[in-house]
Chains A and B, each alone.
Chain A
């Protein structure tokens, strides 16, 4: 790999990092807090490679003006064993760059959600009061809804209408889960949080379509406690369900 190519590749990876960090695109892959650090990394890489490009161009210009002696020296520099062999593995860095610019993989969806389940641990602290109703329903995250369903001794959800937002994950022959992933760091550690939708009428929601769902809470049957089944999810009796566009932050 010539010096030129090394510089260009460094700039290229930097531009990819900047593109992710400066737009919402990074939210598909990593937690929001990493966005600014992607920008910092991108700027540093563009500087590392960019200064190299400028310097080499300038050096070549002065060398051309003088003799060829130095140019030979510079040429040796790259052909010599380690320097030449070592970074050829760097070509692989084009793969994530190509993936980001050309494929732009979607956020984790129903396929990953079907293959995994998440066991939430009981929170140590008592639950705070439910948030205020908005347009006749309590907006909750799927995680909060699950936690309150299984671990709230005071049954704060009893008799309430709640509003949840997530994508549909079909399961088995006729079950449908409303689903959302939670991330700790990046999509590789993403874990799905699910709510089983009950009392659905009409055509089955298609996989990965986003919905805003309103419904009422169902008290879990106690014999489910501790059972390791894929759908150990809170249940919601659906009163209304409308398709929405996916939010820019799909993870909870």
Chain B
């Protein structure tokens, strides 16, 4: 396979240059990485034997596809995050955002319209915004709204529900309202110490492009690692949950709304595709499917992992459940009004 040759070359090159004095003090991580790749190559026949089982094979396919699907969006997100770190000063944000935090929340929520893509990209951007002095509440409103109300997702929703513009409208309204309400909740009850992690500050004196490169790379490696955690979780749930469970809970009552909301958390489907899945869940009420599309881009196992990585665990443990409750209640309210 040509791939092995390529990976081999990639790791080999830097290894020969690792003669710095500090290499003696630290774990030779790069050498370990190279060694692991060689070992994996040697063990390959046995490894693929392990993946002969159809359940494991399906798990691996879904795991790789979630990771691969999110990768371009994550790269877009960290590039924007790096650009913010290098080229946008905190003063600029102070100038463009409304001075009152309560007003900056809906402004930031609406700004989510401009970021095309799904949810993985918006987490590193929100992390960077907070480190550049944007009020956390506003950054969180952006974090929640961007993957749900951008034009790509709106078009996908319209395609998935042909001739039902009210579904598109309901999705837009429910998502924006949820994002703004969660932002305001943070203004009222949020505590800064819950955010135990911050995007690392740019090193003084380095050139702007070097700041861009190191910030983007750091965010990529960081968020990417947590994306893998989320991908593993989502793939496992995807393979483990039997469909019969879903069918027995179908219907239109509260149970249906809660079922689909929890399903959205567990499946971690990208926000550009979830409308198609929602459209196929025809045994469920439209309101419960709206809840599926509102909760999914804001709270799912992959996002919880990413948020815990970017803002810290004690943040994610409060933020995700609160967002979930607000999203479900908003969906029910908007659903009974519009659908």
Indicate whether A99 sits within 8 Å of B60 (C-beta atoms), given known contacts A6-B217, A19-B3, A92-B225: yes
Decide yes or no whether B309 CB sits under 8 A from chain A. yes
Question: Contacting B200 at CB < 8 Å: which of A79, A83, A110, A228?
Answer: A83
Contact A188 B68 (CB under 8 A): no
Contacting B at CB under 8 A, from A75-95, are 75, 77-79, 82-83, 86-95
The CA of A12 and the CA of B160, in the complex, are separated in Å by 36
Indicate whether A188 sits within 8 Å of B268 (C-beta atoms), given known contacts A6-B217, A10-B217, A119-B280: yes
Decide yes or no whether A49 CB sits under 8 A from chain B. yes
Decide yes or no whether A130 CB sits under 8 A from chain B. no
Interchain nearest-CB distance for A113 vs B (Å): 10
Interchain nearest-CB distance for A132 vs B (Å): 27
- The interface of chain B, by Cβ under 8 A from chain A, is 1-4, 6-7, 10-11, 13-14, 17-23, 25-26, 29-30, 33, 36-37, 40-41, 44, 47-48, 51, 54-55, 57-58, 60-69, 71-72, 74-76, 79, 156, 160, 162-163, 197, 200, 203, 210, 213-214, 216-218, 220-222, 224-226, 228-229, 231-232, 234-235, 238, 242-243, 247, 250, 267-270, 272-277, 279-280, 282-283, 309
Name 30 interchain pairs, CB-CB below 8 A, sorted by A: A2-B30, A4-B18, A5-B33, A6-B218, A7-B14, A8-B10, A8-B14, A13-B224, A20-B68, A38-B72, A60-B17, A71-B21, A71-B22, A83-B200, A87-B222, A89-B229, A91-B225, A92-B225, A93-B224, A93-B228, A109-B58, A115-B243, A119-B283, A121-B282, A185-B273, A186-B273, A187-B65, A188-B65, A188-B270, A189-B273
Known: A2-B30, A188-B235. 17 other contacts (CB 8 A): A1-B29, A8-B14, A12-B7, A38-B71, A45-B220, A53-B13, A87-B221, A89-B309, A90-B221, A95-B228, A96-B64, A96-B231, A98-B37, A121-B280, A184-B273, A188-B66, A189-B269
